Amino acid sequence: MADLNTLRDQLRTFAAERDWDQFHSPKNLASALAVEAAELLEKFQWLTEAESRNLPPEGLEGVRQEVADVLLYLIRISDKLGIDLIAAAKAKMALNAQKYPVELSRGTSRKYDEV
């Protein structure tokens, strides 16, 4: 399995070969990320909870491709801004653990300021 640094390097090469760095500003990448996240959401539009948990193979393939697009844009924007994506995710998980202590958050979907 490729790690994030390998994917980052492949994305750098892919963009450089196409002279796309000129278009890959953080703002443009964030906009593209939002579009791809919306395309991911669209795959679940109008599905019931049960249907969303049991996608047919063609539905799962569409979701797989949109998830990949989201990941690739996250890697690209993180690269452009010098963000270590793994370190950022770990730090955010630690922060979330403080905001959502198990004893107050278990089994509830309430936001941290409501628990």
One DSSP character per residue, 39-79 reads HHHHTTTT--HHHHHS--HHHHHHHHHHHHHHHHHHHHHHH
Q: How long a stretch of residues is the chain?
A: 115
The mean pLDDT of 69-79, rounded to a whole number, is 98
pLDDT of residue 69: 98
Q: Is it the case that residue 46 has pLDDT exceeding 80? A: yes
Q: Please give the Cα distance from 40 to 27 (Å, whole number).
A: 20
Tokens of 88: 């950022």
Residue 40: band (very low, low, confident or very high) from pLDDT cuts 50, 70, 90: very high
pLDDT of residue 115: 80
pLDDT of residue 110: 86
pLDDT of residue 1: 59
Counting Cα atoms < 13 Å in the Cβ hemisphere of 11 gives 22
Mean pLDDT taken over the chain: 95
Instruction: Give domain 4-83's CATH number out of 1.10.287.1080, 1.10.3720.10, 3.40.50.300, 3.40.718.10.
Output: 1.10.287.1080
H/E run at residue 81: helix 57-81
Q: Where are the domains of the chain?
A: 4-83, 84-115
The mean pLDDT of 37-65, rounded to a whole number, is 98
